[in-house]
Amino acid sequence: MQVSLADPRIERPKIFTHGCPTRVVLDHVMSRWGVLVLLALSEGTLRWGELRREVDGISEKMLASTLRTLEADGIVVRTSYPEVPPRVEYSLSPLGDELMQRMLPLVGWVAEHAEGIVERQA
Amino acid sequence: MQVSLADPRIERPKIFTHGCPTRVVLDHVMSRWGVLVLLALSEGTLRWGELRREVDGISEKMLASTLRTLEADGIVVRTSYPEVPPRVEYSLSPLGDELMQRMLPLVGWVAEHAEGIVERQA
DNA sequence: CGGGATCCCAAATGATACTG
DNA sequence: CAGTATCATTTGGGATCCCG
Q: Where residue B57 sits, what CATH number does that domain have?
A: 1.10.10.10
Instruction: Decide if B114 is inside a domain.
Output: yes
Instruction: Decide if B3 is inside a domain.
Output: no
Question: Could you list the protein residues whose CB lies below 7 A from any atom in strand C?
Answer: A 31-33, 57-62, 65, 85-86; B 47-49, 60-61, 64, 67-68, 78, 80, 85-88, 90
Taken in order A30, B100, A20, B122, is the CA torsion positive or negative?
A: negative
Instruction: Decide if B14 is inside a domain.
Output: no
pLDDT in tens, A29-87: 999 999 999 999 999 999 999 999 999 999 999 999 999 999 999 999 999 999 989 99
What's the first-to-final CA gap in chain A, in angstroms? 59
Between CA A99 and CA A29 the distance in angstroms is 9
Pairing, β A87-92 against β A46-47: antiparallel
Instruction: Decide if B88 is inside a domain.
Output: yes
pLDDT band at A109 (very low <50, low <70, confident <90, very high): very high
Gap from A60 CA to C13 C1', Å? 11
Q: What are phi and psi of B107, to 5 degrees?
A: -65, -40
Instruction: Decide if B8 is inside a domain.
Output: no
Which residue type does A6 have? A
Q: Residue A11: its pLDDT value, please?
A: 54
Q: Do A73 and B121 touch (CB under 8 A)?
A: yes
Residues sharing a CB contact under 8 Å with residue A108, sequence separation 6 or more, in sequence order: none
Q: Do A16 and B25 touch (CB under 8 A)?
A: no
From the CA of B12, how many Å to the nearest CA of chain A? 8
Gap from A59 CA to D5 C1', Å? 14
Instruction: Decide if B107 is inside a domain.
Output: yes
- The model's pTM: 0.90
Q: What is the DSSP string of B3-49?
A: --TT-GGG----SS-TT-HHHHHHHHHTSHHHHHHHHHHTTS-EEHH
Instruction: Decide if A4 is inside a domain.
Output: no
Q: What is the domain range of residue B72?
A: 19-121
Total domains in the fold of chain A: 1
Does residue B92 surpass a pLDDT of 50? Answer: yes
Instruction: Decide if B4 is inside a domain.
Output: no
Say which range, A14-18, A79-83, A108-112, B70-74, has the weakest mean pLDDT. A14-18
